[in-house]
């Protein structure tokens, strides 16, 4: 596939999962990724993710697919061998990381940031940066398993304490310790993009 291929329409809520592609992680991280995929499917939502078949990415996509859910994967062509494309679901192969992130954002109504490496961190920071600039109001939820994101939260608070960031920005995301809490936070957000379509619009 290429980015010129039309994405199949989906009228419901789409949840983007940012997460790691490493296979050498705690088993509970992989199980949490499976739970995100499974619960997304059970809720009737579409899972949007990075398109890979390895690590947390692959675990979440397989679980959503096996539970009968809709899945959209988006991957740059140069990563096809490294992240092993998961062909069982709708997948777009695009030309660059920038195009990947843009499409993942455009196709999603809410974001879950699960444990991951520098790529996951970069994706999350960009989404938060756009939110800081008031370019979108989509929910961003950090899945803070085993306190994984505590160091990042400390940096955010330090930025506020040093006067680099307004204190109000600390309300730009939610932190959840379990998948169930993350799902509840998305549902509580008012079925973003369905009942509140204005939240799909941004000025980027």
Please give the Cα distance from 64 to 68 (Å, whole number): 6
DSSP H or E stretch at residue 95: none
Against a cut of 0.75, is the pTM above it? yes
Main-chain phi, psi angles of 73, to 5 degrees: -105, 140
Give per-residue pLDDT as tens, 43-100. Answer: 999 999 999 889 999 999 999 999 999 999 999 888 766 667 778 899 999 999 999 9
What is the dotted CATH code of the domain comprising 14-191? 3.40.50.450
Question: Cβ neighbours of residue 68 under 8 Å, at least 6 residues apart?
Answer: 41
Question: 3-class secondary structure for 160-181?
Answer: HHCCCCCHHHHHCCEEECCHHH
Residue 6: predicted pLDDT: 80
Per-residue pLDDT of the chain (204 residues; tens, 9 = 90+): 444 558 999 999 999 999 999 989 999 999 999 999 999 999 999 999 999 889 999 999 999 999 999 999 999 888 766 667 778 899 999 999 999 999 999 999 999 999 999 999 999 999 999 999 999 999 999 999 999 999 999 999 999 999 999 999 999 999 999 999 999 999 988 554 444 444 444 554
Question: Cβ neighbours of residue 19 under 8 Å, at least 6 residues apart?
Answer: 33, 49, 50, 55, 56, 57, 60, 113, 114, 115, 116, 120
Q: Are 153 and 200 in contact (CB under 8 A)?
A: no
Longest dimension (CA), the chain: 48
Q: Are 31 and 114 in contact (CB under 8 A)?
A: no
How deeply is 147 buried, as exposed, middle or buried, from its count of CB atoms within 10 A (0-12, 13-18, 19+)?
Answer: exposed
């Amino acid at each position: 596939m290429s980015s010129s291929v039309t994405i199949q329409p989906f009228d419901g809520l789409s949840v983007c999962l940012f997460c790691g592609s490493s296979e050498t992680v705690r088993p509970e991280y992989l199980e949490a990724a499976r739970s995100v995929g499974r619960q997304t499917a059970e809720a009737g939502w579409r899972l949007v993710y990075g398109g890979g078949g390895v690590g947390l990415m692959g675990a979440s996509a397989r679980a959503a697919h096996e539970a009968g859910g809709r899945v959209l994967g988006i991957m740059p062509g140069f990563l096809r061998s490294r992240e092993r494309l998961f062909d069982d679901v709708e997948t777009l192969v695009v030309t660059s990381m920038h195009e990947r992130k843009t499409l993942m954002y455009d196709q999603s109504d809410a974001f879950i940031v699960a444990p991951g490496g520098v790529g996951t961190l970069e994706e999350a920071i960009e989404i938060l940066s756009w939110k800081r600039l008031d370019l979108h109001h989509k929910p961003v939820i950090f899945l803070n398993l085993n306190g994984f994101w505590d160091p990042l939260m400390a940096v955010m608070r330090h930025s506020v304490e040093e006067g680099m960031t307004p204190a109000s920005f600390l309300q730009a995301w939610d932190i959840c310790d379990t998948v169930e809490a993350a799902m509840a936070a998305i549902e509580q957000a008012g079925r973003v993009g369905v009942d509140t379509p204005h939240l799909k619009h941004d000025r980027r």
